[in-house]
Structures are given as C-alpha cells and as structure tokens.
Amino acid sequence: MARDPKYDILFEPIQLGPKTLKNRFYQVPHCIGAGSEKPGMQAYHRGIKAEGGWGACCTEYCSIHPESDDTSRVSARIWDEGDVRNLKAMTDRLHHFGALAGIELWYGGPHAPCMESRATPRGPSQIPSDFELNIHPRYMDKDDINEVQQMYVDAAIRARDAGFDIVYVYGAHAYLPFQFLSPFYNRRTDEYGGSFENRARFWKESLEKVREAVGDDCAIASRFAVDHLLGATSIQVDEDGVRFVEHVDHLVDLWDLTVGDIAEWGQNAGPSRFFEENHEKPFTGQVKAGNHTNKPVVGVGRVTNPDTMVAIIQSGQFDIIGAARPSISDPFLPKKIEEGRPDDIRECIGCNQCISRWEIGGPPMVCTQNATAGEEYRRGWPPEKFSKAGNADKGVLVVGAGPAGMECAMVLGKRQMSAVHLVEADSEIGGCVNWISKLGHSDGKENLFRGTARGLGEWSRIVNYRQVQLDKLKNVEVHLNSRLSAQDVLEYGAEIVVIATGCHFATDGLNPATHTPIPGADTSLDWQLTPDEVVAGNKPIGQRVLVLENEAYFMGASIAQKLAGEGKDVTLVTQAADVADYMHYTLEAPMLHRDLHRLGVDIRTYTMVDSIEPGACTLYNVWDDRHKDKVEVDTVVLCTQRLSNDELYRELKSDPAALQREGIEAVYIIGDASAPRMIVDSVFDGHRLAREIDSDNPAMPLPFIRERRLWGDTGNGDFESQLLAPSDMVAAG
Amino acid sequence: MRIVVPVKQVAVVDEDFELVDGGSAVDPDFLEWSLNEWDEFSVEAALQMGDEVIVVTVGEEEATEGLLACLAKGADRALRIWDPALEGADALAVARVLAAAVGRESPDLVLCGVQSSDAVNSATGIGLAAHLDLPHLAVARAISADGDSLTVERELEGGLIEVVRVGLPALLTVQTGINEPRYANLRAIKQAREKPLEVLDLAGLGLSESDVDAARGSRLRKLAVPEAGEGAEMLQGSPAEVATRIREIVAERLSA
C-alpha cells in the first residue's frame, strides 16, 4: 500500500551543508554498547535502521582522545587509524542503504573517569563531576585549550576518512563545550570565562577549527542542551540558550537540540512513567519559534506517532524528526509509514531498558519491544525478516499469552509454522503487563520538577503491538479463557509444546536477602498482600502500610507510590542501599524519589523485616541485626521474590512415555515460567526460542558471534576482509 | 436429537478494496474468508444439544475451510453445495437450495445464525423455515430443550425478552453471545479431515436451475462506495479557542 499523502512531508529531503538528508527521519546519537570495538554490532545495528528508512544514523558519543575515556560505560572512539577502520564498517553499511552517517565527537571533561586510559581529564575550572564519583579535572590553560581543540580537529579528519557525512561538536549533556558555556562549571576569569561571549569562546573556536578542517566535505552539527533545567545558575533557553544558537549559527549546518545534563539525563531521555511524547517542546521548541536559527533543527521526544511527527514539522518546532529509542524499538518505523502500514509500528514504551545497559556499563543494549535490538549482527536477527522454519510442518501449542508467550507465538507464526495455538487462561492476552501497566501513578498532583507521575500505561504497547500482529497471522489462533491441564496438553495434538505460564509472588516472604520465609508472613491473611493483589483491589488496605521491597526494580516502590498517593501512611523497606536500585539505570529514580518524598513515604534502607505479627512488623538493620525497630502497621505488602508457575511443565516432563504416545516431540519452557525475570528478558526468551525452533536443540541458545581479538591469529574468526553475518541479514537488491 | 446447522463462509473485505466490472463485485484480491460470526454460536448450540450435528453450506471451494472448522469442533458430517448456476444467488435462492439439503436429513431442529456479516439480510434462516414449513423463532438468546419442545428466549428491541415455547421440529436463528463457542485443538483440526464431507451440485439435490431462479427474490444491480463528504477539520487549542472557532464555523455555515 502506498503511504498516506498526509505523511509526504516526512519524506522531503533536507540540505545539511554539503550533504543531502533524503528524508526527515534521523537517528540521533545514542549508545548501544558497541563503540569502535564491536564493529559488527555497530555496523549492523545502525545498518538495519538505514535499511528501515532512516535518512541518517549517528554513532553514540565518540571519544576524540584517550583523555576522554568513559570506561566502563561504552562510547565509540576515534583515537587512531584502527578506530577509523572499525567505524568505516558502519559508514559503509549506512551508505549501502542510502543513509548519511553521523559521528558525535565527544570530550567529557571530569564526567569521563578515564579508568582504562588512566589519563587526566581537563576542564574549564577545577570542579569535580556531578555525574561521576570524585573525578576532578585539571584546569585548562590556553595551551590546554589549544591542545584539546586540536584533538577535535584531528578526530574530525579521521571521521571524514572513516566516511562520516555529519561531524558533531557535541556540547549537550554538560560535556566539555557546555562546561565552558555554563557558569555552573565555568568559574574562569580570563577570556574563556565570565561574559557570555567569553564562555561561548571555547565552543565557537572549536566549531571554527572543525569547520575549517572538514566543513567542505562534511556537514557540521552541534548537539546543544538549550536549557540546563537548573534555573539561573546555568543555561536557560530564553537567555543564553537562544543567544548561543544565534552566536554560532553561521558555523553549523545542523542543530541537534536537547535539554538537561548527564547527571540527570532522564530529563532528556524521559521515561514514559513521567514524561509524555515530545516533552522537551517548551524548551527546544523556542529556537525555531523565535527565529533564532537559519539552519535545520533536529530534536527528540520519543515520538512514535507519524501524526505527531507531521505536527512537529508543520508547527515549526523542528525540521527533522530525531529519534533514539523509537528507532531502537522499531528500526523500520520510516519504512512502515512509507508503505502505508503505520499500524505495524512497534512503538517504544519508554521503559529505558536500552539505557539501563549503558548505565550499568559494558553490556550490549536491549529493548523490551524489539528483541532483535543489539542482536542484528551477533545472532543474525533482522527485525522484520523471518525465515521459514525447517520444521514448519509441525503444530505448536504455546500455553500462556504473557510477554514470552505472545512473542514466541508471533515469531513462530512469522516463521510460517503450519499451525500455532496460543492458549491463555485469562480473558485477554498480555499476562502480567495487563496489571503492571496500571502502576506508576500516584495522586495525579504536579511533581516537584514538572508534570506528574503518568504511570506505566504506555507499557501496554507490549500487548497492543503483538495483538495486532497475531490478528494478522493466519496460521496463529489465540484462544482465551482456557486453562489447560497436563492431560489437555497431551491430547492437544501439537508436536511442539511451549510452556509460558508466568510466575507468582512468594506468599510467605521468601526473599533474596535471607533465603528463608519471614516469620509471620502469609498473604492468605486479608491484611497481607502480594503486589498483584494490591492492584486487583480485592483486599482492604489499612491506613498504615509497610511495603517490603527486595526486588530492586520498580514493583515495591510503585506499590508504595500508589498507596501513598491514595493517602496511606507508607513505610517502604529495603535490604539494599536504595529502593528500586535498578531505576537509577533506567533514569526513573530521580523523578521517583521526588514523588516518594513529596508523598511522605518513609524509606528505610539497609533494613529487613525480622518478623510480622498482627498490627506490627519488627525490622532490623542488615549491618547490625541487634539494631531492631518495631513499626506499627495495619497492612503489609510483600514484594520479596517471585516463583515460576512451572507445575504444568514439570508434570509433562515427568511422563516421557505419555509425551511419546501422544506425539509430542518437544516441551520447552520460557519467560517467567522458566525463571522470573524482567519483561525485556521474557520477550527475548520467547523470541529466541522461536528464532531457533528448528535448531538441533532449541532449548539451548545457539552460540553468537563474539567480537574479540583471537590471540595469535592475524585475522579474527568473524572478520575476513568484510564482516560476516548470516545470509538472511544481507539486504536483498 | 439430530440438528442441522446451515452455515456460511463470509467475505471479509480489506480496509482498502476495489470493485470489478463497474460494481458487480468486490475484487476477490481484497477479500478474505471466514466462518460467519453468528454461525460460531449456532454450531456451539447444536453441539451442546445434539446427538448428531450436520453442517451444511452453499458456497465455492473456499467454504470447505469453514465446514472443516465446524467438523473440528465436533460436528459429525458436512455437506457443501455448489453449482455454477448459484453464482450471484440471493438469500431466498440459497434458502431454496438449503431446503432441499436440510429436508433430506429430516432433522429435529435447524439452527441458523441471525444473519451473515457480509450480506446482512437476516433472511436465509426464515426463508428456509418457510420452504420446509417449520415453525421458526428468530434471534434466540437462550434455548432449553424439554422433551419434544424447546423453550426459547428471543431478544427484542429495547432490551425486552420474549419467552416462547415451540414444538419440534423447528428452526431457530441464533444470536451472538448465546454461549461460549469452543475451539478445536490441533488434534481435532487434523481429525476433521477424516470426517464425511459431501459435495453436491443442484442435480445431486434433485434441483434444477429454474427451481433456483423461481425462488430468487432479488438480483444484484451494483455495488458502490458512498462519496466521501468534505472531510473533518481538526480544531486545536484551548477549550475557549476551540469553542470560539466552532461558533465561527456555525455562523459561516448559517450565513452561506
């Protein structure tokens, strides 16, 4: 089908200095865990997006010199000819699909701890990083300034040689150029500090020098946080923000606008829990609205809806639709609009699992919605292509339509299995997503920052996308309200059975801290609840509530937030150093803590529940169990650990003769039923099994390509003059 | 109880489609086929009540799939009737053909869907009852068997329910929601292919083309897509701005 003419504007070309962007879809720089040292992952992840229609794709932040070394977080690097060679794999792949390649040249100053290079970062003033622990920069004198600017120039020349079309001088997220511009970092009294012109001088000179070096060949871009969101202590959009754009507008071919800094960059990469689509508009929107630039402007806002994209362009907010997370969730987003099938777009849910892996430092990126993200090269999984399974004649029964079961059935359907039945006990598909997506709200009142706790409603996109796809697959049947016994499964007539029956919360306080139940814990009592029971609302909740949070992700804190929002007096207890520790990685923690604080939640860290009795809990400090404290409560919520619903699987496995008699060749178990995990990993598990359903042993994942140096080998096993990838990854035509 | 269930494989039209021959039909490239939604419920009702269930349809090869689905759920036999002379047959002509097929079976009960989702005539079932000279009740929302009679709740307008007792044999048209249709597991789907599925043409039922023509009540002249209106104007802004704009538009239209 042809695209709807109302979207034509999205496919207009845009001139960026000497380069032409073929349409208005632009993957802004974002991390994936590849850098320059996993060239296959880098080339294939970006390349998939180029194949999917994005007009340009950028690297993640790319260090210009060992002095800017973010280890253990993974940046790209363009330090030497080896990096040029590795990054050229990416630019070649992008050019093959007609996309431009961008590189975000980065010098971090004190935010880069230089743990691999052991170099000393330099900065405008000797103020330690507000992001990294205890890293002080060396004060830059004028020689230092010249040296660092020359690093940008040398890196830009290498970038051009690597085939990059767009070269950034990256000054967003409070990295070095912004540190000079902002009085929050810059306390200098020479010609690089004080007045606006002085503070802007470093960035302006750097742009001039980079432009002089490569400006004839490459488009020069700058990423700029137009507002630091710190008020008058730093850059504000209506003051120095637009002033800086005007000041150096003649030196750039493209503006890439953001807000905030790296210390709380969740204000830019906003999680859906707190930020709606296009939430930066009040800031970034001012630049074009006030006619402060004559250059094309790209910006982000986790925009997945093509109508919003059109509105952004027609309203004059941006010229180009920038995306990081929406491009990870659906690398083929532009192509789906172009082909007139926007209902196939796999919309980002804003969970920030992708970001969490960068924050952890080291692991490859993951995506809840797109299980193939980061797997394009090493596992050879193209997101929109599915080979016909070698055993497609088999019939498959998938029991349980939660995240793992839905994904598995969908991918098996796309792999043209003769018949796939997805059977669900509940009255709708979605499993745990159906109640989890109701969490994350508090009382709807304005937060300390801006906006409210919006909740996890967008997480239901996990279900929506799969519902649409399952409906389209003729070989997949979905049956609801049907709880299958082992006998039902045996008699079902499927050759392959996949058990995806999910998990449940421990009812007795069994937990990862003590590995034992908690004395007195028993959720069969009407004043003790598991988290799902809180959402279901079938038990009364008293005024004084204790929530025990041992999971370290969103559940316990979300329950506390919900109940405090409903006016309860909530004590939130965790054995860890912080509640919901993983939410620091997803960038949700700052806003969550603002909300919990505002709601008056009493947070007890390094604390565990010793015992529970009617009306009270006895707590102790985990470093000193003689330090006890008795808290009077009416209701206890136990978010301690989960346990697999694996009885059906165990029963089937226990009788191999019956399986053989009934013609069942294999029984697999996936997702939480196998071991409780985060939704992102359940989706992956279901996808992985379906991708490999015709391997020799589908229960065991196939090995993946490891991009490593082989000792004593002149080449690498995965590199023979060109990147090797499975044949179905290679683009047709 | 022997129950015959006439079913229909209905055409489901894509969101975008084209017509052929200036409106004689929808281009089959834009059609998909599935068992009529109402028939899922009449088949289930039959399976719950009957000792023997026979499904019958009038349709081309694509209708076999729908019959197989009914057999997989538990129907005992199936009959598909097709003849080139049935091309373009209307509901009354189909009812005449079904009457010949259903009559052969001497059923205790005939269960039809209230209507088909593609033609939406609600006429086939009642027409069939007329041809067979059976008592009939339309839009059944509950059925209970009681010796050689049935007690049937009929759904009327305004939420009213009419409770009627009818002697057997009889014909009912069944409303959606009357029951929870079962689904067939993979084994039953495979085994359905082993069940009797008879295919007959008009001659096989002792009918002639003129019998069908005589029963016909209408003839398709043309299919057409209504012309699009002027389209919608999306108003944006604060409630006050939107209200102001609405007032302006109304004023413009009134003065035009």
What's the pTM? Answer: 0.93
Residue ending a domain, choose from A360, A378, A412:
A360
- Residue A722 belongs to a domain: no
Residue in chain B nearest A1 by alpha carbon: B16
Per the document, the length of chain B is 256
Residue A538 sits in the same domain as residue A491: no
Q: How confident is the model at residue A547 (pLDDT cuts 50, 70, 90)?
A: very high
Residue A118 sits in the same domain as residue A196: yes
CATH number of the domain enclosing A582: 3.50.50.60
Per-residue pLDDT tens over the stretch B206-226: 999 999 999 998 888 888 888
Nearest to B64 by CA among B204, B201, B197: B197
Mean pLDDT of B236-247: 90
Number of folded domains that form chain A: 3
Residue A564 sits in the same domain as residue A579: yes
Q: Which two tokens stand for residue A82?
A: 């080896």
CB contact under 8 A, A493 and B189: yes
CB contact under 8 A, B185 and A492: yes
CB contact under 8 A, A419 and B186: yes
- Residue A514 belongs to a domain: yes
Q: How confident is the model at residue A441 (pLDDT cuts 50, 70, 90)?
A: confident
* Residue numbers of B between 159 and 188 with CB closer than 8 Å to A: 180, 183, 185-188
| Model pLDDT, residue A727 | 47
| Model pLDDT, residue A447 | 60
Mean pLDDT of A471-478: 96
Instruction: With beta carbons under 8 A apart, name residues in chain B contacting A492.
Output: 185-187
Mean pLDDT of B113-133: 94
Residue entry with tokens 């996808």 = A687
Residue A479 sits in the same domain as residue A522: no
| Model pLDDT, residue A486 | 98
Mean pLDDT of A438-463: 81
Mean pLDDT of A94-107: 98
Of B16, B180, B187, the CB nearest to A493: B187
Mean pLDDT of A608-624: 97
d(CA B174, nearest CA chain A) in Å: 22
Residue A188 sits in the same domain as residue A81: yes
CATH number of the domain enclosing A469: 3.40.50.720
Residue in chain B nearest A476 by alpha carbon: B186
d(CA B236, nearest CA chain A) in Å: 11
Cβ of residue A660 closer than 8 Å to a chain B Cβ: no
- Residue A655 belongs to a domain: yes
CATH number of the domain enclosing A170: 3.20.20.70
CA A248 to chain centroid, in Å, comes to 32
Q: Is-contact A524 A530, C-beta < 8 A?
A: no
To the nearest whole percent, how much of chain B has pLDDT over 70?
Answer: 100
Mean pLDDT of A674-680: 98
Instruction: With beta carbons under 8 A apart, name residues in chain A contacting B16.
Output: 1
Mean pLDDT of A621-646: 97
Residue A475 sits in the same domain as residue A598: no
Neighbour count for residue B211 (Cβ, 10 Å): 16
Q: Which two tokens stand for residue A170?
A: 């990256």
Of B16, B183, B186, the CB nearest to A493: B186
* Residue numbers of A between 389 and 428 with CB closer than 8 Å to B: 395, 397, 419, 421
Residue A59 sits in the same domain as residue A173: yes
Distance CA B93, CA B86 (A): 8
Find the domain containing A464 and state its range.
395-502+645-691
Q: Environment class of residue B236 by beta-carbon count within 10 Å: exposed (0-12), middle (13-18) or buried (19+)?
A: exposed
At position A337, the amino acid (one-letter code) is: I
- Residue A608 belongs to a domain: yes
Mean pLDDT of A94-111: 97
- Residue A342 belongs to a domain: yes
CB contact under 8 A, A491 and B187: yes
Quote the mean pLDDT of chain A: 95
Of A477, A482, A492, the CB nearest to B187: A492
Residue in chain B nearest A419 by alpha carbon: B186
Per-residue pLDDT tens over the stretch A315-348: 999 999 999 999 999 999 999 999 999 999 999 9
Cβ of residue A494 closer than 8 Å to a chain B Cβ: yes
Per the document, the length of chain A is 733
SS3 A546: strand
Per-residue pLDDT tens over the stretch A186-196: 999 999 999 99
Q: How confident is the model at residue A6 (pLDDT cuts 50, 70, 90)?
A: very high
Active-site annotation of A, residues: 175
> Which DSSP symbol is given to A673?
G
- Residue A236 belongs to a domain: yes
Residue A200 sits in the same domain as residue A228: yes
To the nearest whole percent, how much of chain A has pLDDT over 90?
Answer: 94
CA A483 to chain centroid, in Å, comes to 34
Instruction: With beta carbons under 8 A apart, name residues in chain B contacting A421.
Output: 185-186
Residue A132 sits in the same domain as residue A275: yes
Q: How confident is the model at residue A733 (pLDDT cuts 50, 70, 90)?
A: very low
Residue A467 sits in the same domain as residue A515: no
Distance CA A411, CA A691 (A): 7
pLDDT above 90: residue B6: yes
Angle between the N-to-C axes of helices A554-565 and A589-598, in degrees from 0 to 180, rounded to the nearest 10: 30
Per-residue pLDDT tens over the stretch A126-183: 999 999 999 999 999 999 999 999 999 999 999 999 999 999 999 999 999 999 999 9
CB contact under 8 A, B186 and A492: yes
Please name the helix (run of DSSP H) or strand (run of DSSP E) that holds residue A329, with its range, or none. Answer: helix A325-329
SS3 B26: strand
| Model pLDDT, residue A489 | 98
Residue A654 sits in the same domain as residue A568: no
- Residue A550 belongs to a domain: yes
Quote the mean pLDDT of chain B: 93
Residue ending a domain, choose from A642, A672, A706:
A642
Residue in chain A nearest B15 by alpha carbon: A1
pLDDT above 80: residue A722: no
Q: Domains (ranges, CATH) in chain B?
A: 2-215 (3.40.50.620)
- Residue A272 belongs to a domain: yes
Nearest to B215 by CA among B82, B112, B123, B105: B123
Residue ending a domain, choose from A601, A624, A642:
A642
Residue A653 sits in the same domain as residue A550: no
Mean pLDDT of B90-118: 96
Per-residue pLDDT tens over the stretch A558-586: 999 999 999 999 999 999 999 999 999 99
Instruction: With beta carbons under 8 A apart, name residues in chain A contacting B190.
Output: 395, 493
Q: Is-contact A323 A299, C-beta < 8 A?
A: no
